[in-house]
Structure 1
Amino acid sequence: MGRIKPQALLQQSKKKKGPARISVMTIIMSSLIVVLTLFFLYATYRHWSQRSRFQIENKQSVLEGDNSFMDPKKSDLPGYAILETAKGSITVELFKDSSPEVVDQFLDLCQRGHFDGMLFRHVIKHYVIQAGDSDKLGAAEDWTLKGKHYSQLDTSLKHEAFMLGTSKAKHDKRGFELFITTAPIPDLNEKLIVFGKVVKGEDVVQEIEEVDTDEHFRPKSNIGIHRVTLKQSI
């Protein structure tokens, strides 16, 4: 067997080391690509996150600007009234937005104690209970004179049950009447201003509705409102 010359051995060793150098370079280049890719993704994420945060802050500032134009007095007004009666409590949500003037007048009268001790003057089953200082039927007069009944009402109901309203007729504060409907009454839309809705105590309203009355729908025994408590929320 012939001897291999040293020069030939050197060339063979270089050929063997060649692939190792290529694999190292490949690893280095791959690592650089991965690092650059991660850096690009991080930069993109940071850019869009900052942009989203900026948009959210802008929206919040716009909303705060809109809220600054709201009437603070209106938002501070009580939103609920609790009518305490001999039969129990009736909680009413007040429509401050749709009937602001009537609600303001009602709140003023409540603070003056106007409704304390006020009697329910008329109780008409399947129709309405009426409280007030006047012994006249007022908005309910046409109904009672014509002898209408709940079964004859229009089916396209506009005036829901358990709504709180007062007469549209001009009256002084002493003549402020309260009506709570016990059935949908579309005919009352032209006569009543609805400014609230019973949200708790419907059973109390129905119990008052069941009291005995005379031929003029006046309760045979006195039943009224002991006091009215105003609440911001319930």
Structure 2
Amino acid sequence: MARIKPQALLIQSKKKKSPTRISLLTIIICNLVVILVVLSLYGTYKHWHRRLSSQPEIGLDEFEHVKNSGEPKKYDLPKYAVLNTSKGQITMELYKDSFPEVVDRFIDLCQKGFFRGMPFHRVIKNYVIQGGDFQRLGAAEDWTLKVKPNKEHAISPKHEAFMLGTTKSVSDSKGFELFITTAPIPDLNDKLIVFGSVVKGEDVVQEIEEVDTDEHYRPKSNIGIIDVILKQEL
């Protein structure tokens, strides 16, 4: 066999290592693929742009309404409160339009369980039953201890029996006194904020009114509120 000269081997080695040229057909195919991808992306963009443009715009007033829609409104507050007492249930309608701040506070305390286990610490026949903290009587003590149930006065609708009220010092965040009248009280407007009335369970109020009390009108047996249920409708 004939020997290949070293110079010929060098030439053959250079030919093998030279880069392969890309054909014209491959370049055309790559360009077509790039063009198709660009057109596809552009078509997707146009589709979503038309879809978003077709939706109605939300004006400022509507935006404010949507933004505030989650906030509780006064008319969304519970309208009734049911006191579960050791003598039975007392259902009360809340006057949220007359005294919204007081009703708000009462509802907030109900939700926090403030009245759960609260005793009726003063029961005055033909006058009022009172629940709350007997350690903090204040002005209410002077009023309830100066009972004049037999004195005749002109009676207004707010002086009727079975009205739900609290003291005018309700702004005190440390407590909340509950009063349910059992007879017309002439000086009710001067002493209480009336924020509700009994609509069911008057017999339970009267049964509580009949319990035996000591000389300070404190019930001799434990009687009080087990819990409170808030309702929008009866």
Same fold (TM over 0.5): yes
Q: Distance in 2 between matches of 1:143 and 1:95?
A: 23
CA 159–138 in structure 1, closer or farther in 2 if over 3 Å, else same: farther
| Counterpart code for 1:113 | G
Which whole-Å CA distance do the structure 2 matches of 1:190 and 1:164 have between them?
Answer: 15
2:184 alignment partner in structure 1 = 184
Q: Is the 8 A contact 2:164 2:178 kept in 1?
A: yes
Inter-partner Cα distance in structure 2 for 1:144 and 1:102: 21
Specify every segment of 5 or more residues in structure 1 that has no aligned partner in the other structure, as ranges: 1-70
Matched, 1:77 2:84: no
Aligned positions of 1:1-234 closer than 5 A: 73-146=73-146, 148-157=147-156, 158-234=158-234
Distance in 1 separating the partners of 2:79 and 2:92: 9
Kindly indicate which of the two structures has a greater share of residues assigned to helix. Answer: 1
What is the Cα deviation at residue 141 of structure 1? 2.8
How far, CA to CA, are the matches of 1:154 and 1:162 in structure 2? 18
What is the SS of the residue equivalent to 2:165?
Answer: strand
Whole-angstrom distance in 2 between the partners of 1:225 and 1:91: 12
Cα distance, 1:133 vs structure 2: 1.6
Contact 2:85 2:223 in 1 (8 A): yes
Please give the TM-score of this superposition, normalised by the length of structure 2.
0.65
Provide the residue aligned with 1:3 in structure 2: none
> TM-score scaled to structure 1, two decimals?
0.65
* RMSD of Structure 2 on Structure 1 (CA): 1.8
CA contact (8 A) 1:109 1:173 kept: no
Partners in 1 of 2:89 and 2:73 — Cα distance? 27
Distance (Å, rounded) in 2 between the aligned partners of 1:204 and 1:96: 24
The equivalent residue for 1:59 is none
Matches of 1:80 and 1:144, distance apart in 2: 26
Q: Deviations over 1:185-206 (max 9, x none)?
A: 0212111001000000000000
User: How many residues are matched?
Assistant: 163
Helix, strand or coil at the partner of 2:174: helix
Q: Which whole-Å CA distance do the structure 1 matches of 2:170 and 2:110 have between them?
A: 19
Cα distance in 2 for partners of 1:123, 1:138 equals 17
- Shift in Å, 1:72: 6.2
Report the AA paired with residue 76 of structure 1: D
Distance 1:226 1:110, change over 3 A: same
